[in-house]
Structure 1
């Protein structure tokens, strides 16, 4: 989908406002050239203030990307496109973030066993209006969207759950598992975008880039 506009994208200075190795890998795999500058935004938004989980992840992604763009603007190191994202795992109206302990990881995976849970990722694409430097929160064009994927975990015995936790993989993953690695053996099926579960909905992202840069008369 992106091949017809890759020459346009390669002429842009693009920043991924995330330290996630999985997001970096996904974007590299589709041939995008970009710089990684992790956000320093403290992810402390009050979840109860949002009617829907997808509103929460989109706002968190917006805060992350603005943090990076504003810091770069102050340093006069500017870019044409900033990419921000945030992913959460939910079930029964509860958000499951990265495990806080081994015990917490065990509890989370036990709840997921044999059931569907939902993964939401919010994505923000930010383009400064002027010379590429963003110095105020009003000086940009923003595209914002979210993607939803349903994940079915297989029935897991306590022994299987503990053995997986013992590998160390769950401890830095939202929801306590990584679908792209050992955690894939625990996933019975998904409904939706696989890459969304990894942390970045690449198909929807590509559609947005085509919308932004694929039309000759559109602002680039």
Structure 2
């Protein structure tokens, strides 16, 4: 059987990938631009995860490569990773008291199988005091996360409810990935 590769450098995806209980290695994509349009586009997100998987597959052709990308979308606009504490604070402020969507696109590429899917999870934030949002943004935790929060850290306190896959919000809908791999004979 071909070796399973996670084409990502995300420590959260690595943790979640381990839940599959399948031996794997990590090979981050190289030189793949992650610039997405300001407005959410399913096709654009899917293309990005495919480019990541293909980039790794070309370097490891006897493998099954999983590429992924996750975005937070509020009112049709993509909230990527903030570039500053102020931007993180603005993003968090825009999310408070509202429902947004988290989309993860997964692309799997190998010699024998290739498929893609996008998983959506809706997340509703409770009303969070400005002081708390500022503290979170200033902690630095928010700077490497789409939408400026992590549901797995103390950003979980902001979340009132979710509809969909919890792990998708962390960046890898591991149950759906397992199902898709399993249905194609990858054990």
Structure 2 length-normalised TM? 0.93
2:71 corresponds to which of 88, 91, 108: 88
Aligned residue runs from structure 1 range 42-53, under 5 A = 42-44=33-35, 53=41
**How far, CA to CA, are the matches of 2:142 and 2:36 in structure 1?**
24
- In structure 1, the partner of 2:90 is 107
Q: Are 2:103 and 2:118, in contact at CA under 8 Å, matched by a contact in 1?
A: yes
1:174 matched to 2:117? The reply is no
Q: Are 1:114 and 1:154, in contact at CA under 8 Å, matched by a contact in 2?
A: yes
**How far, CA to CA, are the matches of 2:48 and 2:180 in structure 1?**
19
- In structure 1, the partner of 2:162 is 190
1:30 corresponds to which of 11, 20, 27: 20
- In structure 1, the partner of 2:104 is 121
**How far, CA to CA, are the matches of 1:204 and 1:56 in structure 2?**
21
Structure in which a larger fraction of residues adopt strand: 2
Aligned residue runs from structure 1 range 1-220, under 5 A = 11-40=1-30, 41-44=32-35, 53-73=41-61, 78-79=62-63, 81-129=64-112, 141-213=113-185
Q: Are 1:47 and 1:56, in contact at CA under 8 Å, matched by a contact in 2?
A: no
Cα deviation, 1:84-141, whole Å, max 9, x if unaligned, reads 1111000111100000111111111000000001000000111114xxxxxxxxxxx4
**How far, CA to CA, are the matches of 2:146 and 2:114 in structure 1?**
26
Shift of 1:167: 1.9
Shift of 1:69: 1.1
**How far, CA to CA, are the matches of 1:164 and 1:178 in structure 2?**
10
Q: Are 1:65 and 1:84, in contact at CA under 8 Å, matched by a contact in 2?
A: yes
**How far, CA to CA, are the matches of 1:119 and 1:190 in structure 2?**
10
Shift of 1:183: 0.8
Q: Whose Rg is larger? A: 1
Q: CA RMSD in A?
A: 1.7
Shift of 1:181: 1.0
Structure 1 length-normalised TM? 0.79
Closer/same/farther in 2, CA of residues 47 and 68 from structure 1, 3 Å limit: farther
Unpaired segments ≥5 residues, structure 2: none
